[in-house]
Structure 1
Amino acid sequence: MNTCTIELPEGRTIAFTFDPAQTLLDAAAQAGWELPHSCRRGNCESCRVQVLEGAVHPPARQGSALLCMSRGCGDVRIAADRAEPVSGAARKTVQARLYRLRMAAPDVAVIDLRFPAGVKVPFKAGQYLQVHLAGAQPRSFSMSSAPRAADGVQLQVRVLPGSLFGEQVLPTLKPGDTLALELPFGDFYLREGPAPVIMVAGGTGFAPMQSILEDALARQPERRFTLYWGARRADGLYALEQVAKWQRRHANFRFVGVLSEGETADTGMRQGLVHEAVLADHADLSGHQVYVCGNPAMVGLARERFVRERALPKASFFADAFAATAQA
């Protein structure tokens, strides 16, 4: 067995042994540590770390590597933004039944699924699940329902041309049909504390934000939450009724809608890119927690600029970056 040592901010270190056949991300989880990650397929860059000593396979690129793809070649030492004890919630595979399916926008399906009678699967608001399909790799989707509804989940799925799940599976589903789900996955969930929270969503990146806000606004009414939600056109902001409810009920919740292409006159929306709206509103993010969910390019730009230009601590940036299967 080899040893992986992780250098963390403020001079902390942790270490664990690993089997060279495992990825470093899986080995850390087995040892009881949750490191930043999202897609587990090497697309999102959320688990990229600096390799300080030792070698990994595939070889480090410019001194860095993706934990979800890398296996250690002997002892290694890496630097990560954070490491947290793994949640005690056990991951389960269940056969969920379709309860309801509706189109919230021309290219967004909202899917309500129910677990078998008596089955509950605990998860944290913001985490994701995997749908297992015969003869294909699992598809990952954020859960948009709050954890208190542990007898089922809601998904918000963007339907893209050529996508296996959106174009080939969804049209065949009818109420009562089953899907094999495995959950929960991911470290995208709200950290406790008094720090004001900024949430940045692109398109269906709104899904985990809905889960987090439904859970947190009731529990932490004194904490400040600001949601920036961006889309190309107005119909991409497909859950504004839900947003309006939060605005009416919670004095410390603020919403900013951003359209990159659509007309904003008389809509109350801003024109531009969603992460740039955050930059325009905040000269200093040093005292905030920031949660970003959307395509990898947007997440990467937000991380870079918030840290470099607005003094956001790296350890206070939490991301769930996704690329649809048709785009990956």
Structure 2
Amino acid sequence: MLRQSFLHRLQDFRLLPVFVLVSMAIGIYTGKVYAISNFQLTPPIDALKAIFTGNYVFDLPNTLALGVVAGLFLMMYPAMTKIKFEDLGHAVKSPKQLAVVLFFNYAVAPFFMLLLAKTFLTAHPDFYVGLVLYGLAPCIAMVIVFTFLSLGNNALAIVLVALNSIMQMILIPVYAKLLLGTVDFDVWLVGESVLLYLGLPLLAGYLTRYFGIKKVGEEGFEKIRLYLDSLSIIGLLFTLAVMFALKGDLILSKPQFILLMAVPMTIFFWVMFAVVYLVGWKLGFSYEDAVAAAFNSTGRDFEIAIAIAITAFNPTVALATVVGPLIEVPVMLALVWFARATRKRLFTAVELK
């Protein structure tokens, strides 16, 4: 049985940057030791389909890549065990929060990313396309984890993710054609992603909560939250290690590729988060709602971007989108720290639940 002191250290937010750096280093070292190079990342949805049809090649990199799916589930599941379905009903009745996220995700984010691409990447057309692709679709998975780590409104985050999923199916083909020309896009990819990254963890979390409370009561269930919450951190660190193991060769051999994408992407994430967070504050949102809206307006759906790049563009464009999550996850963790650090400075005791 894991010692509680270790679990408390794991959840100590002051130590999280150290754990993140160690995970990234372990990932890069693993990739180097096992000579993983030029690995073409298959979108997890496609990988699972290939397994069920018997077409998946279980070599080391491909097997390791399945860890992304497992890691994302571990990250999402603990947050879902906190959700009460009545909270989802309250979250649906939050028109201002929904309107803010819709506006920034579909009237601001794609065009802001386009502006950054024009500013920084006009001399690198493939990376230009990759960056614009990355800005098209809001995240429908990991933003729930970042909201959870920020002590935000998890129920609202789930409702916003569901809303974004519907809007993506309608608007991604429109924005792709508008910003990049004709691009093939399978709208069912969004539905499959929602089922895998939202539906399954939500169902598992609900069943865990239902049977856990039935077995030990609500107070008893809260006592095991230390163990459940630790799974989210473990899943995050594991996912980081896997991602950096698969693409560590790129970081070591072509760091300029990382830098090309890092500058505009870092600007995008910080500006989008800060603006939406402050807009929520000015509109009188609670901290929990403001941080949920900010993450749901900032995070991007790397799986959708990678899938479009692989099917519709050349390998360099696909490479540009694969670089994205290597940058996004550490930056979003910095934003979690920023949100928690400003929580009591911006929001009153009444607003802090």
Q: TM-score, normalised by structure 2?
A: 0.21
**Higher helix proportion:** 2
Q: TM-score, normalised by structure 1?
A: 0.22
